[in-house]
Amino acid sequence: MTFKILNITTGDEKVFHSHNTGGIGCIEVHNNKNFFAVGEKGENPCIYIYSYPELKIEKILENGTEKGFSCISFSKSGTKLASVGNDPDYSLVIWDW
């Protein structure tokens, strides 16, 4: 599974591949637009937080769910990230990333 970032001004695009074999469950942009988070699917998936525009992995959040993330959202201040897992655990985790 892949996702793309498209610069609508220049038309340049950057392709990213998921780190887990299950693909991507959700993506969320940080309030200040300097980061974005990608929640993956598959066995013991992670959330990858990338810096923008550098597109470098800044943090990897592990052990939040068993099979995949269905939703992630940054807090208003941007210091916390909430995630919701898929079946079978439907876990709600608040990350102080």
Residues 6+ apart with CB under 8 A from 6: 12, 13
Q: Kindly state whether residue 76 falls inside one of the protein's structural domains.
A: yes
Domain that holds residue 76: 20-95
| Largest interatomic CA distance in the chain | 42
Q: Give the span between the Cα atoms of 80 and 28, in whole angstroms.
A: 12
* Ordered DSSP codes for 37-83: EEEEBSSS--EEEEETTT--EEEEE-SS-SSBEEEEEE-SSSS-EEE
**1 is a domain residue:** no
- What's the whole-number mean pLDDT along residues 50-65? 95
- Give the mean pLDDT of 71-77: 97
> What is the reported pLDDT for 1?
74
Structure confidence at residue 97 as a pLDDT band (50, 70, 90): very high
Number of domains in the chain: 1
* Overall average pLDDT of the 29-37 stretch: 96
Asked if pLDDT for residue 21 goes beyond 80, the answer is no
> Mean pLDDT over all residues of the chain?
94
What gap in Å lies between CA 21 and CA 6, rounded to an integer? 23
Average pLDDT over residues 42-60: 95
Residue 3 lies in a domain: no
Whether 83 maps to a domain, the answer reads yes
Give the pLDDT confidence score for residue 35 in this predicted structure.
97
- Where is pLDDT greater, at 17 or 24? 24
pLDDT at 9: 92
pLDDT number for residue 7? 87
Residue 64 lies inside a defined structural domain of this protein: yes
